[in-house]
Chains A and B, each alone.
Chain A
Amino acid sequence: MTHHLNRRSLLKASGALALASGLAAPSILRAQAATVKVGILEPLTGNLAYNGTQCVAGAKFAVEALNAAGGIKSMGGAQIELVVADAQSRPEVAAAAVDTLVEAGVCAFTGATASSLGLASTQAAAKYNLAQVVSIGTAEAMVERGLPNVFRFTPGVNKCTTVALDNLRLLNEGAGSPVKTAAIVHEDGPFGSGMAKILNERLPGIGIEVVETIQHPTPQRDFNNIALRVKASKADILIPSNYINEYTLMAKAIRQQRVELMAIYSILGGAASNIKFVRENNEVAQYVMDCNHWYDPQKPASVALAENVAKAGLDLTYDVMVAYASVQVIADALERSASDDREKMIEALAASTFDGSIMPYGPTKFVNGDNVNSQPVNTQIRGEKIELVFPKEYATAEAVFPMPKEG
C-alpha cells in the first residue's frame, strides 16, 4: 500500500459517497428523496488519529451501502448524510464538536474511540437529548453515569476480559492445561489498567498463576527490559494489552530477547487484530491471538465491506468494523422511528432488537446503555491472514494453542 493509492482511493470512496447520497448523480436522485443526517465524532488529528480515521472510513462504507440499498425506507428512501466532526484527541474539543453536530442537525451520532473522549461527548450530547452510539469506549465509566443518550454497542473492558478468560480456559483445557503461569503487560491508560486488575483477580480461578504484571506508558520507547522481565518470570504465556506502536516494539523485543512462550494471548490488543502488523512483522506475528472486537466474516455485508476496504487501499481493522456496525444500528433505529427527531431516536435505540449488523452479536439489547448481547471474539494470526477462531459458530479456522515450537 502506498500513500498515493491510499489517498486516491479515499477520495474515490468519498466520491462514491457523494454519488450515493445523490449529490452528484441525478440518475439516482429521487424527486422527494430527503436526506437524514447522522454524525460521527472521532479523533482525526492528534495521537488517536489512526483509530479515528479508520472509524470514519468504516462509517462511510456503511452509509454508502445503506444508501445504495435504498436509504431509510420508512422515510421514503431518505438518504443518509454523514456529518464528520474531529475530536482532535482532546476531551474538551470532543465536547465542543457535539455542538457542531447538533448545529448540523444530526439525529444521532457514533464515536469516539477513546473513553476520555467518549465521556466528554456523551455528557455534552446529553444536554441536547442526542443519542450517541458508542463504537469504542471500553472503560465501564462510559455506561455507569445513567445518561439516557448513551448506547454502547460493543463490549466494555469487563466483558472483553471475562470472555477472554473463558476462552483461554477452554483453549488451555482443550490442550491438556499446559499453561500454568502468565505474564501481563499492559498500557497504563483506562483500558489496560482495568483489564490488568480483572485478570489478576480471575486468572488464578482458571488455574493460571500471574507471575508478572508490568504496566507501561504510551508511548514507551524501549521494550527490552519488559521482555527480559517476562523472560525471567518464566511465564508460559504472555497477555498483552497495548496500542499498535507499543505492540510492534514489544513483539520485536520478545523475539530479540529469545523469550520462550507457549502463546501470546492479547486482550483488546492494538496489533494482533491489525492486518498491517501482520504484513510488516509477519514472522513475529504468527499464532498471536487476540480477544477483540471483530465482525462475523461470513455475513454478506462483511464480505462486501472487506472487498470495499481492500479496493480503497485501506486496512481492515476492528475500528472500521465497529464504526460500520454502529451506523447500521443508527440506521435501524431511523427505520423504526421514521423520524430524525432526536428524542424519538433515543426511544428507538433504547428499544432496539437489531440483529442485522456485521458483528457476531445476538439481537441488540441495551440495558443501562450497554448492549448486553455484544461479545468480543478471538482471532489468531495465521500466515498472511487474521482468522477468527472463537466462538465456534463464527470460526474460520481452528485455533492453534499452544503455538508450535520453532524447528
Chain B
Amino acid sequence: MKPTSMGQAVLIAAAVLYLVSVFFLSSPIWMGFSLNALIIAVVALSWNVTGGFGGLFSFGHAVMYGTGAYASAVLQVNYGVNAWIGLVAGIVAGAVMGAFIGAITFRFGLKGSYFALVTLAFAEVMRICASSFAFTGGGAGLQVKLDPGISTLQFQDRTVSYTLLLLVVAAVMILTAVMKNSRFGAYLIAIRENEDAARALGIDTYRIKVIAMAISGAFGGLAGVLYLQTMLYIDSTVVYGNAISVEALIGPLIGGAGTVWGPLVGTLGLHLLGEGAKHLLSNAPGLNFVLYAVVLICALRFLPQGLMGFAARIGPFRKKEEDDDNA
C-alpha cells in the first residue's frame, strides 16, 4: 500500500485529503457526490482483483454488483430478513456468482476478449431474469422499506453513512493489499504475466482464477448492497445495467490497474471530472459528457499507464524497475 515515488505519495495524499475534507466542507453537493463515488470505488476495487491483478478483463462486473443488491433486497423485501443478514447474504451471493462464472468460463478455457464478452452476456442474462420474475419484483424492481436505524442499516445522517463507507473502502483496500502480498496474490500476478509459465511452475491456475473471481464477486456484491442501503430501491437496469460494468473497469484503468490505490484514485478523479464538467456546462446537458470524454481521451494519451503509473515516474524513492506496480 506504500507509495513508491514522490508522485504517488502526492496523488495518494491528495485523494486522502479530499476524502477527509468532505467532513469539513459541510456542502450537501460534495457529500452526495462523494457517497456515490465511494460506492463506485468499491466496484472498481472489485474489478481490480480480477482485471488488475489477474489480467482477467470483465465487461460485465455489474453481474456481481446486481447479484449482491438483489440477494439482499429479495431477502429483506420478500422474507423480512434483517438488513445485516442481507449484507452478508449479498456478499456471499456476489462471491458465489463470481466463482460460478469463473468456474465454468475458465473450465472451458475462455480468456481475453472472449472472457470479457461472456461476463457481459452473464450480466445481461441476470438483468433479463431480474426484470422477468415475480420474486425479484419484475420490471417494477424492489423497494426496501424506509426505516432508518442501525438494525436496518439505513442512516439518516449522511456523515454517518459517509464515515461507514470510508471504513468499508479502507477495509477493502487493506484486504486487497493483504491479498496482493500473499502467496495467492503472487500466483495471481504470475498468471497475469504468463499463464502457461505459471502452470508450468505447478500453480493450479484454474483454482487461483476461480478464487480471484470469488473475491472479486464478494467485493462487487458488497458494493451492490451498499447501493441498495443508500438508495433503498433497485431495478434490473440500475444494478445489472451496462453503466455499472463500465464504471467498474474505467476507474482502475485510469487510476492504475493492479495497484491498491489505483481504483480509488481513478474513480475519485473521474467522478470529480464528471462533476466538474456538469457544473461547468450546467446549461448544456450532454456537453458535460462530451467534455468528460475529451479529457478522458487526452488523459489516455498522456497517461497510458494510468495515474498511479504516471506518478510512479515522478521522483521515485528507489531506483528499481520492479517498483512499478508496487503501490
Contacts and interface: CB of A to CB of B under 8 A. Distances in A.
Direct contact of A and B (CB under 8 A): yes
Interface of A: 44-45, 49, 53, 84, 86, 90-93, 95-96, 98-100, 102-103, 116, 119-120, 123-124, 127-128, 139, 141, 145-147, 187-190, 192-194, 215, 217
B231 A92 contact: yes
Nearest to B31: A99
Interface in B199-245: 227, 230-233, 235, 238, 243
B316 interface: no
A230 to B, nearest CB: 20
B151 interface: no
Nearest to B279: A100
A147 B282 CA distance: 29
Nearest to A120: B231
A187 B286 contact: no
A42 to B, nearest CB: 9
Given A116-B235, A193-B138, 16 more contacts: A86-B278, A91-B231, A91-B238, A92-B36, A95-B32, A95-B230, A96-B32, A96-B35, A96-B36, A100-B29, A102-B28, A116-B233, A119-B232, A139-B140, A190-B139, A217-B128
Nearest to B132: A188
A124 B32 contact: yes
Interface string B6-38: 000000000000000000000111011101100
B158 A127 contact: yes
A188 B132 CA distance: 8
B232 A99 contact: no
B235 A123 contact: no
B233 A127 contact: no
Interface string B157-168: 010000000000
B121 interface: no
Interface residues of B, number: 35
B233 A120 contact: yes
B225 to A, nearest CB: 14
A193 B36 contact: no
Contacts of B231: 91-92, 95, 119-120, 123
A267 to B, nearest CB: 16
B289 interface: yes
B140 A96 contact: no
B141 A190 contact: yes
Contacts of A146: 146
A189 B282 CA distance: 30
A91 B228 CA distance: 11
A124 B282 CA distance: 21
Nearest to A215: B139
Given A45-B289, A86-B278, A116-B233, A190 B131 contact: no
A127 B128 CA distance: 33
Given A116-B235, A147-B146, A192-B139, A90 B243 contact: yes
Given A145-B146, A217-B131, A116 B138 contact: no
B273 to A, nearest CB: 15
A96 B286 contact: no
Contacts of B152: none
Contact of A103 (B27, B139, B141, B233): B27
Contacts of A86: 278, 282, 285
B156 interface: yes
Contacts of B146: 123, 145-147
Main secondary structure of the interface of A (DSSP, over half): helix
Interface in B254-282: 278, 282
B143 A119 contact: yes
The 6 closest A-B pairs by CB, nearest first: A44-B285, A99-B28, A99-B32, A188-B139, A96-B32, A190-B140
A49 B28 CA distance: 25
A378 B286 CA distance: 35
Given A92-B36, A116-B235, A188-B131, A45 B286 contact: yes
A53 B46 CA distance: 36
Contacts of B33: 96, 99
A86 B283 CA distance: 10
B29 A99 contact: yes
B270 to A, nearest CB: 14
A364 B285 CA distance: 33
Contact of B238 (A45, A90, A147): A90
A193 B289 CA distance: 32
Contacts of B35: 96
B143 A103 contact: no
A82 to B, nearest CB: 12
Contacts of A217: 128, 131
Nearest to B232: A123
Contact of B141 (A53, A100, A116): A116
Nearest to A118: B233
Nearest to A93: B36
28 contacts: A45-B285, A45-B286, A91-B233, A92-B36, A92-B39, A92-B227, A95-B32, A95-B230, A96-B32, A96-B33, A99-B29, A99-B32, A116-B141, A116-B233, A116-B235, A120-B231, A120-B233, A127-B156, A128-B28, A141-B143, A145-B146, A188-B131, A188-B132, A189-B140, A192-B139, A193-B138, A215-B139, A217-B131
Contacts of A44: 285-286
Nearest to B30: A99
B73 to A, nearest CB: 13
Contacts of B243: 90
A98 B35 CA distance: 13
B286 A188 contact: no
| Most chain A CB atoms below 10 A, which of B27, B29, B230, B238 | B29
Nearest to A56: B285
Nearest to B146: A145
Contacts of B233: 91, 116, 119-120, 141
Interface string B104-132: 00000000000000000000000010011
A139 B131 CA distance: 16
A53 B284 CA distance: 11
Contacts of B128: 217
B282 A116 contact: no
A145 B156 CA distance: 15
Nearest to B131: A188
A189 B158 CA distance: 30
A190 B233 CA distance: 12
B27 A193 contact: no
B238 A116 contact: yes
Contacts of B227: 92
